[in-house]
A and B are shown apart, each in its own frame.
Chain A
Amino acid sequence: MSNTKNNLESMSGLQDKGRRRFVLGASAMLALAALPFPKNAFAKAISESLTQLSGKVFDLSIDYKTVNFTGKSARATVVNQVLPAPILRWKEGETVTLRVKNNLDEDSSIHWHGIILPTEMDGVPGLSFDGIKPGETFEYQFKVQQNGTYWYHSHSGFQEQTGVYGPIIIDPAEPDPVVYDREYVVMLSDWSDTPPEKIYANLKKQSTYYNYSERTVSDLFTDIRKHGLINTWKARAMWNDMRMSDRDISDVTGAAYTFLMNGKTPEQGWSALFKQGEKVRLRFINAAAMTIFDVRIPGLKMTVVATDGQNVQPVEVDEFRMGVAETYDVIVEPEEGNAYCIFAQNIDRTGFTTGNLTSDAHLVAAVPSMDPAPILGHGDMGMSMEGMDHGDMDHGAMGHGSMDHGSMDHGPMGHVEMDHGSMAMGAPVLGLAGFGSTAEIKHADAEYGPHIDMRADAPQNGLHDPGIGLRNHQAEYNRKVLTYADLKGLHPTYDKRQPSREIQLHLTGNMHRYMWSINGVRFEDAEPLVLEYGERVRFTLVNDTMMTHPMHLHGMWSDLETGDPDFIPRKHTVIVQPGSTISYLVTADAIGKWAYHCHLLYHMPGMFLKVVVR
């Protein structure tokens, strides 16, 4: 490694709080060897840990590297020769300098995901800077003003898919309100030997390319046997009419992906040790390109203490969903003599990745089987459930263009911004801060055309929804699944003002043509969304698709309105459920040009908006 100035602590995964400052060397190895574990267990644990760099100055280099996750060699792009990239350990209040050298033969960049920093340090080519040219080094420098679990990744091309991602841990300046004895980063990701450009092209040529969970003829006969011919016909009529599949959950599935936990395949298995009585803090980071993960540890309750780096009031759950780019910190208290499987299955149940949390390296927990694949319902299409249940719905009204959009005069307001405050509808009526939107759902004119295949006309509120495939888990398995409604900030709401206006943004696309946009306008054609410095605004997202979109606003917090105005949690990435809405408040406290986009990598080129704070 080129870096000699940083303390190299390759035992990051294994350290407990007392040893955190150890510098790796003979003394460290001796200290570790004194622990009551078999020697070979150590060798294994060491090899399985992530590399960690800490300090104030970091040298990172982005290179090609040959990797083998599938039995075949493939070319990855990596930081400092490791995948995932090294953990960067910062201290709140310090100024960090990061020198990033690009050794690729194409432009690269590093974006510090969720970090509040000056716009020119945000690492988005075309907005923050020009990107890092081949052979060049860019020096990032900014003051660290927060603490918690974050991550960093390339914002150039599709390099996130090929390995340029790593964890960031920021130790708090004040004593950490979260009590724990030992910590591990658990970074989830997806690997494919197929080059990302090819995956994207495959999806454009055949949007179902990676879906091997479609309904078959035998499903049809099973349904007819179970529900009768008429009911089966009715249940399928809407999908057939809309030319959509209720089995279309992920664009890219386990057919293409090997899912990784801390860079290990399920076969390799990542392993983590604990001692009796320890509170173990697991810092989950979803660093996948396209994969939404559902995480659980059979036999262990998980207490969620933070999301997206921000502390929340502890909530005990059995399972939680992680949108791409989200982070969750949980505390677990495992029992000596046991091994536990950290199980992360993807949303469409075509693959998973696992880790082994154990008190003894010889103990390996059984890996559970995946849950049944979710099947989309009419509600996931943002349709009124009432009409559907009677099976007599007028399909013409479901978004094939028969809607009277001529009566919605959005023309003068631009495509991007629907400012309900200024609409000629009498006095502006905004929902109270913390409780979300009460505004009417309006589709812009640009949402009609060959690039859009559906509009949610009766979207549900996604706040209390665990999400597709998880809704029955409480009833069926007695598993408490986290919902956004469970998240309350640990810190009182930072900005208690009411929103001065509301911006309704529709997540739009045509899945069949694999085109994605916001308000019906792709990034290339979109006008920037302008925020005035200091204003408090509400973003209401309306998902006019049947995919789950994790939306990420750069530079400013997304204060998720979960029902308690006094303890609004702050997030950087927010899942918008299919055919649903979600609202958050944003304080425009960061001058500059910021990216706002879906964090699914192959949605991002189109479903992207430039936000300008002036």
Chain B
Amino acid sequence: MKNINVKGFTLSLIAALFMSGFAQAGGGDDPLLTKVMFDEVERGVGSNDPTSFNIQAWVGKDINKFWLKTKGEYEDADDKELEIQALYSRAIAPYWDAQIGVRVDLEPSPSRSWAVLGLQGLAPYFFEIDAALFIGDEGRTAMRVSAEYEMLLTQKLILSPEVKVNFYGQNDADLGIGSGLSDLSTGLRLRYEIKREFAPYIGVEWARKFGNTAEFARNEGKKVEGTQVVIGLKAWF
């Protein structure tokens, strides 16, 4: 997996997507569309708090899409994270998309690459779910699940609780990651949709490391648990 050619994979994905449907002319019910989503672009209000983002984009049609997911966090030069996923996404059920592709963690060092098997969609009771299994080299495995819900206080003022968990199959001491439940974060964000596509928010996020991951953090003198107040922007186009 180390030598995975992300660019080549991406291009062949796009090619496959185009071959699958774009060659046909006709009804015009299914135009090629693009959506870019700044799901979370935020900064902690404390002076040492990190700046972080979670940005996704897709290009495609009703059933087949090419999906990019990036997330990152910057606290200082020594503490930064940057992850990119390139996925082929296919609708497999009325509310669910199966996603397959690659993930590259560019930061922190050393970089890690993973194959991705994911499921994204809307569960009953309107929970937005993104679950993925990651398979890396040297037997590394990981799983991430996030769930989000939207409560409409008014038509434009929306309170959104969210939970994210990460699990790892084995220790990765270089990165301070331990096996088992590694970390959990939960947030509550209150956004105001000035228009559908543009919503500033305030929120609070609590995160905690568990097990060996927590152990690694303690050994390095880092925090195991933290709460921060954030301000941010959710936008799409």
Known: A513-B91, A606-B27. A215 touches B152 (CB 8 A): yes
Instruction: Give A251 Cβ to nearest chain B Cβ, in Å.
Output: 14
Instruction: Tally A residues with Cβ within 8 Å of B.
Output: 37
- Taking the complex as formed, is B175 at the interface, i.e. its CB lies under 8 A from any CB of chain A? no
Contact, CB under 8 Å: B152 / A450: no
Q: Which of B28, B30, B94, B151 is A512 in contact with, Cβ under 8 Å?
A: B94
Contacts of A452 in B (CB 8 A): 94
Q: Which of B29, B123, B124 is A522 in contact with, Cβ under 8 Å?
A: B29
- Taking the complex as formed, is B3 at the interface, i.e. its CB lies under 8 A from any CB of chain A? no
Contacts of A510 in B (CB 8 A): 94
Contact, CB under 8 Å: B152 / A209: no
Q: Which residue of A lies closest to B94 (CB)?
A: A453
A242–B30 Cα distance when bound, in Å, is: 24
- Taking the complex as formed, is A37 at the interface, i.e. its CB lies under 8 A from any CB of chain B? no
- Taking the complex as formed, is B226 at the interface, i.e. its CB lies under 8 A from any CB of chain A? no
A593–B35 Cα distance when bound, in Å, is: 37
- Taking the complex as formed, is A570 at the interface, i.e. its CB lies under 8 A from any CB of chain B? no
Known: A206-B196, A243-B95, A522-B29. A217 touches B151 (CB 8 A): yes
Which residues of chain B from 88 to 140 have any CB-CB distance to chain A below 8 Å in the complex?
A: 91-96, 122-126
Known: A240-B125, A512-B122, A515-B29. A216 touches B91 (CB 8 A): no
Contacts of B225 in A (CB 8 A): none
Q: Which of B24, B62, B154 is A451 in contact with, Cβ under 8 Å?
A: B62
Known: A216-B152, A243-B126. A205 touches B236 (CB 8 A): yes
A240–B126 Cα distance when bound, in Å, is: 6
Instruction: Give B230 Cβ to nearest chain A Cβ, in Å.
Output: 22
A216-248 CB mask vs B (1 if < 8 Å, else 0) is 111000000000000000000000111100000
Contacts of A512 in B (CB 8 A): 94-95, 122
Contact, CB under 8 Å: A524 / B126: no
Contact, CB under 8 Å: A523 / B29: yes
Instruction: Tally B residues with Cβ within 8 Å of A.
Output: 31
Contacts of A489 in B (CB 8 A): none
- Taking the complex as formed, is A204 at the interface, i.e. its CB lies under 8 A from any CB of chain B? yes
Instruction: Give A245 Cβ to nearest chain B Cβ, in Å.
Output: 9
Contact, CB under 8 Å: B93 / A450: yes
Instruction: Give B81 Cβ to nearest chain A Cβ, in Å.
Output: 28
- Taking the complex as formed, is A352 at the interface, i.e. its CB lies under 8 A from any CB of chain B? no
A114–B124 Cα distance when bound, in Å, is: 43
Known: A216-B153, A512-B122, A605-B27. A204 touches B33 (CB 8 A): yes
Which residues of chain A from 175 to 207 have any CB-CB distance to chain B below 8 Å in the complex?
A: 197, 200-202, 204-206
- Taking the complex as formed, is B8 at the interface, i.e. its CB lies under 8 A from any CB of chain A? no
Contact, CB under 8 Å: B62 / A523: no
Which residues of chain A from 510 to 543 have any CB-CB distance to chain B below 8 Å in the complex?
A: 510, 512-516, 522-524
- Taking the complex as formed, is A494 at the interface, i.e. its CB lies under 8 A from any CB of chain B? no
Contacts of B155 in A (CB 8 A): 212-214, 216
Known: A450-B93, A512-B94, A513-B62. A241 touches B27 (CB 8 A): no
Known: A214-B155, A243-B124, A515-B62. A524 touches B29 (CB 8 A): yes
* Most chain B CB inside 10 Å of its own CB: which residue of A202, A216, A401: A216
A218–B92 Cα distance when bound, in Å, is: 35
Contact, CB under 8 Å: B196 / A522: no
Instruction: Give B235 Cβ to nearest chain A Cβ, in Å.
Output: 13
- Taking the complex as formed, is A584 at the interface, i.e. its CB lies under 8 A from any CB of chain B? no
- Taking the complex as formed, is B46 at the interface, i.e. its CB lies under 8 A from any CB of chain A? no
Instruction: Give A597 Cβ to nearest chain B Cβ, in Å.
Output: 10
- Taking the complex as formed, is B26 at the interface, i.e. its CB lies under 8 A from any CB of chain A? yes
Q: Which of A201, A605, A606 is B33 in contact with, Cβ under 8 Å?
A: A201
Which residues of chain A from 449 to 464 have any CB-CB distance to chain B below 8 Å in the complex?
A: 449-453
Contact, CB under 8 Å: B33 / A524: no
Which residues of chain A from 395 to 434 have any CB-CB distance to chain B below 8 Å in the complex?
A: 401
Contacts of A218 in B (CB 8 A): 153
A217–B92 Cα distance when bound, in Å, is: 32
Instruction: Give B179 Cβ to nearest chain A Cβ, in Å.
Output: 35
A218–B236 Cα distance when bound, in Å, is: 27
A514–B123 Cα distance when bound, in Å, is: 18
- Taking the complex as formed, is A608 at the interface, i.e. its CB lies under 8 A from any CB of chain B? yes
Contact, CB under 8 Å: B63 / A522: no
Contacts of A216 in B (CB 8 A): 152-155
- Taking the complex as formed, is B31 at the interface, i.e. its CB lies under 8 A from any CB of chain A? yes
* Most chain A CB inside 10 Å of its own CB: which residue of B24, B124, B154: B124
Known: A216-B155, A450-B63. A516 touches B126 (CB 8 A): no
Q: Which residue of A lies closest to B151 (CB)?
A: A217
Instruction: Give A239 Cβ to nearest chain B Cβ, in Å.
Output: 9
Contacts of B196 in A (CB 8 A): 202, 206, 209
Contact, CB under 8 Å: B153 / A217: yes
Contacts of A201 in B (CB 8 A): 31, 33
A217–B95 Cα distance when bound, in Å, is: 24
A522–B35 Cα distance when bound, in Å, is: 23
Contact, CB under 8 Å: B27 / A522: yes
Q: Which residue of A lies closest to B93 (CB)?
A: A450
Q: Which residue of A lies closest to B35 (CB)?
A: A205
A213–B156 Cα distance when bound, in Å, is: 10
Known: A214-B155, A451-B63, A512-B122. A608 touches B95 (CB 8 A): no
Instruction: Give B67 Cβ to nearest chain A Cβ, in Å.
Output: 14
Q: Which residue of A lies closest to B37 (CB)?
A: A205
Instruction: Give B180 Cβ to nearest chain A Cβ, in Å.
Output: 32
Q: Which residue of B lies closest to A512 (CB)?
A: B95
Q: Which residues of B contact A (CB under 8 A)?
A: 24, 26-31, 33, 35, 62-63, 91-96, 122-126, 151-156, 159, 196, 236
Q: List 28 A-B contacts (CB under 8 A).
A: A197-B31, A200-B31, A201-B31, A205-B35, A206-B196, A213-B155, A214-B152, A214-B155, A216-B152, A216-B154, A240-B125, A241-B125, A243-B95, A243-B123, A243-B124, A450-B93, A451-B62, A451-B91, A452-B94, A453-B94, A453-B95, A510-B94, A512-B122, A513-B91, A515-B30, A515-B62, A524-B27, A524-B29
Closest 4 A/B residue pairs (Cβ)? A605-B29, A606-B29, A524-B27, A450-B91
Given contacts A450-B91, A451-B91, 13 further A-B contacts (CB under 8 A): A200-B31, A205-B35, A212-B155, A216-B153, A217-B152, A243-B95, A243-B126, A401-B93, A451-B62, A512-B94, A512-B95, A512-B122, A513-B94
